[in-house]
Amino acid sequence: MTTLMLRNIPVYDITNHVVLNTTFCPFIQSQDPKKDYERWRARRVYLKTNRMAQQVVLQAGGPFTRQAKRRLSLSDSYWVYHNYDKDALFESITPYLNPFSEARAVQGSKSSSVPELVVGGSQPKVWARGSDGITYLRKTVFPEQAQAEMMAVKLLRKCGVKVMNAFVLTDEGRVYADSYSISTGNSHNGLVNLVNITNINRSLIQFDQLGVFADGYDPASVANGYKAAGVVGDANEIAITQVICDAIVGNIDRRHNTSNWAVFMDNSTGKRTPSWMYDFNWAGLLDENTEMIEIVSENIKRNCPTAVEATAARAAAIRDVCSELGLAVWYNNAQKLLDRL
């Protein structure tokens, strides 16, 4: 018998295709749980374009090792229990709690847990852990993408928007988004380190794993996506904030890329909430984002008419911080959005 586990809780009988725990089952349930499971599992793998993730898997022993078959993840706390695992517990095998490093993976050390095996996305990336215990995802991008991502994170954190943190490595050490500037040292090397926003208490479940669609240019569509992904309550305000943030920084990647929309699931209660924002390497510091802003503003007026005034106030606040940080293009984007609302 093979079982899908959330930490040490059995949630799905993979062998017989039976849901064992409806609260913690990661995928949306329908009349065909087998199909739902297969879709969730298929999207919980590294893409063939992610060469670095492939290398990590090979360094860790290949895709047919016990560790790889478990599909340990640092995005969530799900893993697959096989008969040969016997008395294995989540705490003894998860990279969350056990040491791992690229070096140990290369050496094949059996004392080291296997690094993340399911890093998605087209950009090369790999999990690492600093000497201070902080776990982060190292992502290789073009230099201009690294700068745009860091400045987007800095802007939104300064605006009080829930967004993951990030840092670059320089000769002086780590420079986090809050103190990052365009002229920051070695940022030109195109390496961004995204601080992990999950832990053993909270899992990240992406829309694409659930078969949930969202048009990232339409707050109403995003809010409906959150509802379809299991969020209880009104997600409209969060959806509007996230969509206008993308529009202002010119992050066009989230329109139909449903792997960049997700919910947090509380691993103790099963409650699902909209995740913090993550992945801004398609933001643009140089080119104004006229087309996206036109579409977003029309969608807000048409599909969220009662929220126009509050949306304008939010956009104005972000615009003012853009001015404070000297982000001229993003200031102009925010003003264009305001002019169209």
Q: Note the pLDDT tens digit of each residue in 210-235.
A: 999 999 999 999 999 999 999 999 99
> Same domain, yes or no, for 176 and 265?
no
Cα separations (Å) of 48 from 64, 74, 239, 280? 16, 19, 31, 21
> Same domain, yes or no, for 217 and 297?
yes
Cβ distance 18 to 33 under 8 Å? Answer: yes
Top pLDDT among 8 and 52 is at 8
Percent of the chain clearing pLDDT 90 (strictly above):
64
> Same domain, yes or no, for 182 and 257?
no
DSSP 176: E
Domain boundary among 161, 195, 229: 195
> Same domain, yes or no, for 177 and 274?
no
> Same domain, yes or no, for 211 and 336?
yes
Most confident residue range from 93-102, 188-197, 269-278: 269-278
Q: In this structure, is residue 116 part of a structural domain? A: no
Spell out the residues 6+ positions from residue 188 whose beta carbon is closer than 8 angstroms to its own: 143, 146
Q: What is the arithmetic mean of pLDDT over 7-21?
A: 95
Q: In this structure, is residue 66 part of a structural domain? A: yes
- Residue 125, H or E segment: strand 125-129
Distance, CA of 170 to CA of 172 (rounded, Å): 5
> Same domain, yes or no, for 242 and 297?
yes
> Same domain, yes or no, for 297 and 253?
yes
> Same domain, yes or no, for 312 and 191?
no
Percent of the chain clearing pLDDT 70 (strictly above):
94
The pLDDT of residue 100 is 66
Residue 182 has pLDDT above 70, yes or no: yes
The pLDDT of residue 187 is 65
> Same domain, yes or no, for 32 and 144?
no
Domain boundary among 174, 195, 216: 195
Top pLDDT among 164 and 70 is at 164
Instruction: State the pLDDT confidence band at 28, using cuts at 50, 70 and 90.
Output: confident
The pLDDT of residue 51 is 79
Which segment of 13-22, 50-59, 83-92, 188-197 scores lowest on mean pLDDT?
Answer: 50-59
Domain boundary among 135, 164, 195: 195
> Same domain, yes or no, for 210 and 330?
yes
Domain count within the chain: 3
Instruction: State the pLDDT confidence band at 287, using cuts at 50, 70 and 90.
Output: very high
Q: In this structure, is residue 117 part of a structural domain? A: no
Q: In this structure, is residue 254 part of a structural domain? A: yes
Q: In this structure, is residue 33 part of a structural domain? A: yes
Name the pTM for this structure: 0.92
The pLDDT of residue 106 is 39
Query: Based on C-alpha coordinates, what's the Rg of the chain?
Result: 21
Residue 188 has pLDDT above 70, yes or no: no
The pLDDT of residue 112 is 47
The pLDDT of residue 235 is 95
Residue 73 has pLDDT above 60, yes or no: yes
Domain enclosing residue 148, as ranges: 125-195
Q: In this structure, is residue 272 part of a structural domain? A: yes
Distance, CA of 31 to CA of 331 (rounded, Å): 48
Q: In this structure, is residue 253 part of a structural domain? A: yes
> Same domain, yes or no, for 222 and 313?
yes
The pLDDT of residue 127 is 84
> Same domain, yes or no, for 266 and 218?
yes
Q: What is the arithmetic mean of pLDDT over 302-322?
A: 96
